[in-house]
């Protein structure tokens, strides 16, 4: 280790660590207060961080988890491209997934170097998902794009400001290449403001404690994060743990499932994650650039580590991510990746599936498979362009310690849904239903979260709909004897026609067409016959489960009139079901 943390002053250590955490959270609050689009301001699809002078992340904000592990790569690209020409007042911009450390084109990075006494000390980092960056569909996340050039405006590592002077040409190019320039430029300026906040407060810390002192302690945060991760991983049993997950398919090929195969190897104090049997990259826009894949792996392993790990990237040092180029998780340059989130979610799910064999007491069953995304775009009746981009999540899997939390998003994306009032006040969209789907969850001693329904009506004269989901053919996996979750669905209602859509794709829709979307329901954890009958009854009372579902899945008999548990009938039924299960196990043995 580079530093002995015990030799540092513990009070200064805590003050500086919490000071940096406060800075990145204030940066996040700046985005929510000044952002223009609903996907940034309300859904919270952005992230903030501070990196040290070498590009190592030293603090991270409380927003989108999978963005956070991506920051070191773009900062290192800046250091490589502008090694001798980084100045106070500079602001860098980029989104290129294949040469600048980006993760897909809608995620635009704004990174500001921080100088103290004319010495480069750190970087203030922001990435936000923009509502549109051009390309073939509104929202710029085409699942049918077959090359990166179809997905929108690609920005290499550029200086948006040099020595405090803006490059107006870059602003003009962006403005002319997006469908909703007011929202995009507004969100971009929110990112710049947040990066300036990060710079200002870091400089205040350095002025109070000294730049060299802050540098020494941030190095200690990284070393402490590494040391704690090493210590915990050393307690895990050595071995190679495999898990295979699947995507239902893509929007270009013939519907064959895609394989996401991981091997998590524990050896001493280190973890190596490989993808040996994972599918080759595809023509559709769902490939996951390596930076994004690594970030998903880091996030999964972080969830399995202790909660006292500092919010610094030192633990990245003990994780090796190895993926062959040309695969779904490491596509070659130029491959489309606009809707890569669906693969990133599956990477985290598969790594957690492997880790459930290592630390079963910490890993929940599978959930809805990450955010379903949908975008509506077109023109209003008075020919104003609009883009509505939203994500729908919240159906987690049952946990070793209890039922899945309801309406809580996938751990990879700590995001919200756009409030209905905001949508209907600003867009030609009406939300006609938003609620839980009864019986739509995996049974278990601790059940999965209910699936969520959201029905969306297009009020514009016509629009283009782009949609992305998963977990219809391959249901959320259970753990410890639980039952799988329930499938997702997209149904489009236009006039008298009611069409079940595939899990992802794009199409034109008419005025007053309604998209009926149901997420997948979370998988169950533990044997359903071990679930407390009173808990089953409470779910029936709360209309989360039906009487018939309670009897079929849990062996709990409830009177349909009084909604009281028939304890005698329940005891008999459960005894019979236990006997049948034991017989089945014996016959398989």
pLDDT for 108-132, tens place per residue? Answer: 999 999 999 999 999 999 999 999 9
pLDDT at 1: 42
Q: Count the Cβ atoms, other than its own, within 10 Å of residue 385.
A: 16
Tell me which H or E stretch contains 48: strand 46-52
Task: Check: CB of residue 45 under 8 Å from CB of residue 64.
Answer: yes
- Percent of the chain exceeding pLDDT 70 equals 98
**DSSP-assigned states of every residue in 230-260:** HHHHHTSPPEEEEEEEEE---SSSSS--EEE
As a whole number, mean pLDDT of residues 243-272 equals: 92
| Residue 67 reports pLDDT greater than 90 | no
φ, ψ of residue 378 to 5 degrees: the values are: 165, -140
Whether 447 shows a pLDDT value over 70: the answer reads yes
Least confident of 203-207, 472-476, 581-585: 581-585
**DSSP code of 447?**
P
Give pLDDT, residue 253.
Answer: 73
Say if residue 170's pLDDT is above 90: yes
Q: Say how far apart CA 204 and CA 209 lie, in whole Å.
A: 9
Q: Coil, helix or strand for 169?
A: helix
DSSP 3-state assignment of 292?
Answer: helix
Q: Residue 555 is encoded by which pair of tokens?
A: 């062996």
Nearest alpha-carbon partner for 474 in 184, 242, 181, 255: 255
Taking the complete model, does pTM exceed 0.85, yes or no?
A: yes
d(CA 252, CA 55): 37
Rounded Cα distance, 456 and 434, in Å: 9
258-270 mean pLDDT: 97
What's the mean pLDDT when you consider all of the chain? 94
Q: What is the pLDDT of residue 589?
A: 59
Smallest CA-to-CA distance from 89 within 249, 214, 203, 230 is with 203
Side-chain half-sphere of 254: how many Cα atoms within 13 Å? 0
pLDDT above 70: residue 340: yes
Q: What are phi and psi of 455, to 5 degrees?
A: -110, 125
């Amino acid at each position: 280790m580079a530093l002995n943390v015990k030799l540092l002053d513990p009070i200064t250590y805590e003050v500086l660590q919490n000071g940096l955490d406060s800075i990145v959270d204030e940066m996040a609050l700046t985005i929510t207060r000044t952002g223009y689009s609903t996907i940034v301001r309300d859904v919270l699809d952005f992230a903030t961080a501070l990196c040290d002078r070498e590009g190592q992340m030293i603090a991270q904000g409380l927003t989108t988890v999978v963005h956070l592990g991506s920051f070191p790569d773009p900062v290192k690209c800046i250091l490589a491209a502008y090694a001798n020409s980084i100045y106070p007042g500079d602001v860098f911009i980029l989104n290129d997934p294949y040469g600048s450390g980006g993760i897909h084109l809608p995620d635009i990075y704004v990174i500001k170097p921080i100088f103290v006494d004319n010495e480069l000390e750190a970087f203030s980092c922001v990435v936000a998902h923009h509502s549109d960056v051009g390309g073939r569909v509104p929202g710029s996340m085409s699942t049918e794009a077959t090359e990166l050039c179809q997905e929108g405006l690609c920005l290499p590592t550029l200086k948006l400001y040099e020595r405090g002077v803006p490059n107006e040409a870059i602003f003009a190019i962006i403005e002319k290449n997006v469908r909703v320039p007011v929202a995009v430029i507004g969100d971009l300026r929110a990112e710049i403001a947040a990066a300036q906040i990060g710079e200002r407060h870091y400089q205040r810390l350095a002025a109070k404690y000294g730049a060299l002192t802050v540098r020494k302690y941030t190095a200690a945060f990284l070393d402490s994060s590494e040391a704690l991760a090493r210590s915990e991983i050393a307690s895990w049993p050595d071995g190679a743990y495999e898990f295979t997950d699947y995507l239902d398919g893509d929007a270009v090929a013939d519907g064959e499932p895609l394989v996401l195969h991981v091997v998590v190897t524990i050896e001493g104090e280190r973890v190596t994650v490989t993808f040996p049997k994972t599918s080759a990259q595809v023509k559709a826009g769902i490939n996951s650039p390596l930076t994004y894949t690594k970030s998903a792996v880091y996030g999964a392993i972080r969830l399995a580590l202790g909660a006292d790990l500092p919010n610094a990237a030192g633990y990245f040092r003990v994780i090796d991510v190895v993926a062959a180029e040309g695969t779904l998780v490491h596509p070659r340059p130029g491959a489309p990746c606009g809707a890569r989130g669906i693969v990133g979610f599956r990477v985290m799910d598969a790594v957690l599936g492997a880790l459930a064999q290592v630390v079963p007491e910490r890993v929940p069953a599978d959930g809805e498979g990450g955010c379903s995304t949908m975008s509506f775009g077109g023109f209003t009746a008075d020919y104003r362009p609009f883009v509505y981009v939203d994500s729908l999540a919240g159906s987690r899997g049952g946990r070793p310690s209890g039922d899945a939390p309801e309406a809580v998003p996938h751990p990879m994306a700590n995001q919200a849904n756009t409030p209905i009032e905001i949508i209907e006040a600003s867009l030609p969209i009406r939300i006609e239903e938003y609620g839980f789907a009864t019986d739509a969850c995996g049974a278990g001693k601790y059940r999965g979260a209910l699936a969520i329904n959201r029905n969306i009506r297009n009020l514009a004269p016509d629009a283009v709909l782009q949609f992305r989901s998963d977990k219809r053919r391959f249901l959320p996996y259970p753990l410890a004897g639980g039952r799988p979750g329930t499938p997702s669905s997209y149904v489009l209602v236009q006039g008298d026609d009611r069409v079940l859509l595939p899990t992802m794709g794009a199409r034109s829709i008419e005025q007053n067409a309604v998209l009926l979307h149901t997420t997948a329901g979370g998988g169950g954890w533990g044997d359903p016959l071990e679930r407390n009958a009173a808990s089953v009854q409470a779910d029936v009372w709360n209309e989360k489960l039906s009487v018939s579902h309670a009897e079929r899945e849990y062996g709990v008999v409830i009177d349909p009139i009084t909604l009281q548990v028939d304890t005698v009938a329940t005891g008999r039924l459960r005894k019979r079901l236990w006997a049948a299960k034991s017989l089945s196990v014996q016959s398989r043995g």
